[in-house]
Amino acid sequence: MAEARRLVAALALLAAWPVAAAAETVPPGAVAVVGDGIPRPLTDRPGDPARGRAIVVDRQKGLCLLCHTGPFPEQRFPGTLAPDLAGAGSRWNEAQLRLRLVDGRLLNPDSIMPAYYRIDGFVRVARAFAGRPILEAQDVEDVVAFLATLREEPVKKESP
């Protein structure tokens, strides 16, 4: 009988536990571009730089290091097709970084960078990815938060 009362009490506590509200997100296609940036975050939850870094170095999810190099000494064989991410937070503000991630082709139609938060206008999309962005809104905000922390410019290597 005492166990039953404890179980009922525990269930009552769980029922009264405050449930975290789902983060509000801006859906792909409803993002407001102002000038050369997207000033409003895509979610109401701040970006997490540590999660953002993990996405950037993840060669399955972010794929950033296929084209970019940066301050990632533990990563081997970064790409050299795109700008070095070192100093990204000094070169671009958060709104500018956000637009480059959401759809950089709005700035440079010839860019090879994928549109990480766009779902329309693609010609051939794998069935598993149809109707969904490469990164979720919170992922974009996490990457923006991380890139904004990168303030040191890349070290220029002198050629022999």
| pTM, two decimal places | 0.80
Q: What is the pLDDT of residues 36-49, one digit of tens each?
A: 999 999 999 999 99
Q: What is the DSSP string of the chain?
A: -HHHHHHHHHHHHHHHSPPPPPPPBPPTT----BTTB--S-SBSSPP-HHHHHHHHH-TTTT-GGGT---S-TT--S---SS--STTHHHHS-HHHHHHHHHHGGGT-TT--S--TT--SS-SS--GGGTTS-SS-HHHHHHHHHHHHH--SPPPPPPP-
Q: What is the pLDDT of residues 100-150, one digit of tens each?
A: 999 999 999 999 999 999 988 888 888 887 888 999 999 999 999 999 999
